[in-house]
Amino acid sequence: MYPWAKKDLLNETSSSFGKRHDRFIRIIECREDEHVCCDESSDLDGPFFFFYATLFKKILVCLPLLIFEKELLTDFNVAPSQLHPNSWALIRAFTILCSQLNISPTLEVFLYFFQVKHSGRKLWVSLNGAPGRALLTLFQYSYKYFKGKFLRIRANKGDPTLLDAFPLYWIPEPRFQSAYCLDDLSPQDQGVREFLANLKVVFDTSFLLNK
């Protein structure tokens, strides 16, 4: 759909991502004829997933993905590139907020405050806040040019689990998940939800990302 094979941008992204990840991943430029919504049959060299460069540069998503992030992708039934960057910003801000508050991010608590909205005929899956449960401000960065700038991610021997436990390739039918009810949460997650709700603060997503 949006091929990208520009070495200058590849080098820029690799540099900004940092050498600390070299033992975990390999970032590879894409061929001119590649599409971000391809399936695994498009590559005979082994498993991979596509990742938009802006997720490294603007949102500072880290690899390997957290167990929490893998669980979200699996529950939504989407590949990493299938989730809109603004939604990745909410996920990243939520993990930072939990880290600052010394609590563990869980799928259940996240899906109490957020839901997967139906995108209609749009290609990317997006998140929004559950009505009456505001926790984070929406991230409204304009992504006019992100579509053609994606990278191929492979695992290095330093972390063979990099590609485990989440969908790697675009899935035609993502799962549109409504927000969880209180009864859907375990007693421990209900306690975390209550703690976050009692703060009575809508946290600024951009501020958290800058942390």
Q: What is the pLDDT of residue 16?
A: 43
Q: What is the pLDDT of residue 120?
A: 58
Q: What is the pLDDT of residue 14?
A: 46
Taking the CA of residue 27 as centre, how many other CA atoms within 13 Å lie in the half-sphere pointing to its CB? 26
Q: Between 116 and 146, whose confidence is greater?
A: 116
User: What average pLDDT does the structure give for the chain?
Assistant: 80
Strands 25-28 and 114-117: unpaired
State the average pLDDT over residues 138-155. Answer: 74
* Distances in whole angstroms, Cα of residue 51 to Cα of each of 17, 58, 93, 112, 195: 13, 13, 18, 27, 34
Whether the predicted pLDDT of 72 surpasses 80:
yes
* Helix residue ranges per DSSP H, the chain: 7-17, 53-57, 67-76, 85-100, 107-113, 187-199, 205-210
Whether the predicted pLDDT of 9 surpasses 70:
no
What confidence tens digit (pLDDT) does each residue in 172-194 have? 888 887 889 999 999 999 999 99
Whether the predicted pLDDT of 12 surpasses 70:
no
- Residue 150: band (very low, low, confident or very high) from pLDDT cuts 50, 70, 90: confident
Q: What is the pLDDT of residue 70?
A: 95
Determine the 3-state secondary structure of 5 from DSSP: coil
Least confident interval from 28-32, 92-96, 147-151 = 28-32
What are the residue boundaries of the structural domains of the chain, listed by start? 7-210
Q: What percent of the chain has pLDDT over 70?
A: 73
